């Protein structure tokens, strides 16, 4: 936000200007900023209103209809939890009987609002005054102000007395640089665990790339994907931790969970009529063996996460392909086949093979009207090229 305060935007004049900016952006995107200036003498407010309208549009995928009432900064929006993931976390905390919860490092409030929508009372703490002002304005805009108490301060100093649970989402960025080491988060992960010792149920968001070796033994580590992309990971401790590892796969409004130990090896066996690509959350959670049990499948190589089965088993936890042909991996022979078959649209996937799809595509020179999916991988002895087709699940 420029020098304009949230309170100015949240005034009748400010809100009317944001509404006009939203309309102008829809009607004449190229001229919207210039046109908006005709609607006010306060040019700084016009710029802030246009920024807000732009951010609200950008926020729609994360926040749905609520985006049209909320206030954002670009940073706040980028770091905010997706509403659907926050809502599912809130479902879990509410089901565990949590009533009062601290949201440490609350940002613009996505998690706090999901919790409050469940009727939980939330103490939302952030050390950045401007961000906390947004949380306050957003709580009011969403009609949740009675349930969300905002407190300016450091998470590590927060008074958690009376809380049934704490949730923390520390900063994992330094400017535009992502931070991977949890001890470099702000505040560091170990500090957050120590802060909340007196609260038994604790959840901390972490980067999806977290190293399994540093996950506390008593924690459940959960990876969440939305629409096929792994969007976050969280560590759960205390009574709310269930299994050692969990994958949560969200597709539309459907939530599918897979739990396990995270240290099992899937059975190694032959290729089959179907190849499955596990969802990224399953792979990150080291739950490929648990998925293999579920769909009666095996791997062709102990460290490669493609699963093979003889029958189709439809699950949101994996994408199935029907295997059409298995060949030794040989670029020259593949190029010849692709030319003979007139394959112009070629999807290349790979796991466990030392190939770069873009480079391979150039070498294979696809040309023609036909379409194919080529998986390059290996079993325990050789590199393989597997032609397959995605299984249509719509029928
Ligand atoms: C990843 S964002 C939180 C996003 C939030 N969960 C949401 O969905 O909107 C991290 C937040 O931590 C805050 N922060 C960083 N260090 C902090 C500290 N020591 N104490 C409290 N807040 C802190 C930042 O101001 C930032 O708003």
Q: What is the pLDDT of residue 260?
A: 97
DSSP secondary structure letters along 323-354:
EEEEEE--HHHHHHHHHHTTEEEEEEEESSS-
Is there an atom of ligand 1 within 6 Å of 108 CB? yes
* From 74, 83, 103, 127, mutation site for ligand 1 pocket: most ligand atoms within 8 A of C-beta: 127
Question: Would you say the pTM of this structure is higher than 0.75?
Answer: yes
User: Which candidate, 122, 131, 107, 190, places its Cα nearest to that of 156?
Assistant: 190
169 CA distance to ligand 1 middle (Å): 6
b/e burial code for range 192-208 (CB count within 10 A of at least 16 → b): bbebbeebebbbbbbbb
Angle formed by the axes of helices 110-117 and 129-141, to 10°? Answer: 30
Tokens encoding 97? 């009987």
Rg (CA), the chain: 25
Tokens encoding 386? 């597997």
Q: What is the pLDDT of residue 331?
A: 96
Average predicted confidence (pLDDT) for the chain? 95
Contact 304, 275 (CB under 8 A): no
User: Which candidate, 235, 316, 241, places its Cα nearest to that of 280?
Assistant: 316
**In this structure, what is the dihedral angle of CA atoms 357, 359, 364, 365, given to the nearest 10 degrees?**
110
Mean pLDDT of 121-134: 96
Contact 336, 366 (CB under 8 A): no
pLDDT interval class at 5 (50, 70, 90): confident
d(CA 313, CA 138) in angstroms, rounded, equals 43
Closest atom, ligand 1, to C-alpha of 111 = 8
The answer to whether residue 327 scores a pLDDT higher than 90 is yes
User: Which candidate, 94, 68, 65, 70, places its Cα nearest to that of 80?
Assistant: 70
The answer to whether residue 269 scores a pLDDT higher than 70 is yes
The answer to whether residue 395 scores a pLDDT higher than 60 is no
b/e burial code for range 72-111 (CB count within 10 A of at least 16 → b): bbebbbebbbbbbbbbbbbebbbeeebebbbbbbbbbbbb
């Amino acid at each position: 936000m420029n020098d304009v305060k949230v309170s100015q935007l949240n005034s009748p004049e400010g809100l009317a200007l944001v509404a006009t900016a939203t309309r102008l952006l829809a009607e004449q995107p190229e001229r919207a900023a210039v046109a908006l200036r005709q609607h006010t003498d306060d040019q700084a407010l016009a710029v802030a209103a246009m920024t807000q309208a732009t951010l609200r549009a950008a926020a729609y995928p994360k926040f749905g209809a609520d985006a049209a009432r909320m206030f954002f900064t670009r940073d706040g929006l980028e770091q905010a939890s997706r509403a659907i993931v926050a809502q599912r976390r809130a479902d879990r905390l509410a089901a565990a009987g949590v009533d009062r919860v601290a949201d440490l490092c609350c940002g613009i409030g996505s998690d706090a609002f999901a919790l409050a929508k469940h009727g939980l009372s939330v103490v939302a703490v952030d050390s950045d005054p401007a961000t906390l002002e947004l949380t306050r304005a957003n709580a009011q805009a969403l009609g949740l102000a009675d349930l969300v108490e905002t407190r300016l301060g450091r998470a590590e100093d927060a008074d958690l007395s009376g809380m049934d649970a704490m949730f923390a989402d520390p900063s994992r960025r330094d400017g535009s640089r992502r931070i991977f080491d949890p001890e470099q988060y702000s505040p560091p992960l170990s500090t957050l665990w120590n802060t909340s010792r007196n609260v038994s149920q604790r959840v901390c968001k972490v980067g999806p790339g977290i190293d399994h070796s540093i996950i506390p033994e008593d924690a459940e580590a959960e990876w969440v994907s939305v629409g096929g992309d792994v969007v976050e990971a969280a560590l759960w401790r205390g009574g709310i931790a269930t299994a050692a590892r969990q994958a949560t796969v969200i597709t539309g409004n459907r939530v599918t969970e897979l739990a396990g130990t995270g240290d099992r090896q899937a059975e190694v066996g032959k290729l089959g009529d179907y190849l499955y690509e596990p969802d990224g959350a399953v792979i990150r959670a080291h739950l490929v063996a648990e998925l293999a049990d579920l769909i009666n499948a095996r791997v062709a190589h102990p460290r490669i996460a493609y699963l093979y089965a003889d029958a189709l088993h439809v699950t949101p936890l994996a994408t199935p392909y029907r295997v059409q042909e298995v060949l030794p991996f040989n670029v020259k022979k593949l190029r010849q086949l692709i030319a003979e078959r007139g394959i112009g649209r070629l999807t290349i996937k790979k796991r466990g093979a030392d190939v770069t799809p873009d480079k391979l595509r150039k070498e294979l020179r696809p040309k023609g009207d036909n379409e194919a999916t080529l998986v390059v991988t290996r079993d325990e002895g050789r590199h393989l090229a597997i032609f397959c087709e995605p299984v249509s699940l719509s029928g």
